[in-house]
């Protein structure tokens, strides 16, 4: 028995609800710095679908990766998924970034 469309919609709905409970204190500079040349040549653009917070979007018009680093959950999935290993990934500075509620 596989995952159905209804299962997927329920899963996405639950992620959206959980993301709504988080607090963010974004830095003024991005802690996620993809290599623009590699992104342009990347066939899969895995970051655009692996990220649970939908931080990455490929712009066909601009031919560049849009990075909404302010929404990053610091999970590291994009760093692992990048087939070119060309994502300069760091945690945000000091008290910046996402805060998760406990319990």
- For ligand SF4, the binding residues (CB under 6 A) are 32, 50-53, 55, 72-78
Give the helix/strand (H/E) hosting 95: none
Write the CB contacts of 101 (distance below 8 Å, at least 6 apart in sequence): 21, 22, 23
Say which DSSP state 43 is in. S
Instruction: Kindly state the smallest distance separating residue 48's Cβ from ligand SF4, in Å.
Output: 10
- Closest CB to ligand SF4 among 1 and 28? 28
Instruction: Kindly state the smallest distance separating residue 2's Cβ from ligand SF4, in Å.
Output: 24
Instruction: Kindly state the smallest distance separating residue 6's Cβ from ligand SF4, in Å.
Output: 25
Phi and psi at 60, nearest 5°, equal -65, -40
């Amino acid at each position: 028995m596989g995952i159905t469309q209804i299962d997927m919609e329920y899963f996405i709905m639950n992620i959206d609800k959980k993301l709504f409970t988080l607090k963010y204190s974004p830095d003024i500079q991005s802690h996620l710095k993809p290599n623009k040349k590699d992104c342009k040549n990347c066939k899969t653009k895995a970051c655009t679908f692996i990220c649970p917070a939908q931080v990455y979007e490929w712009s066909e018009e601009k031919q560049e990766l849009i990075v909404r680093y302010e929404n990053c959950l610091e999970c590291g999935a994009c760093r692992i998924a990048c087939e070119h290993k060309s994502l300069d990934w760091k945690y945000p500075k000091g008290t910046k970034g996402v805060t998760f509620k406990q319990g």
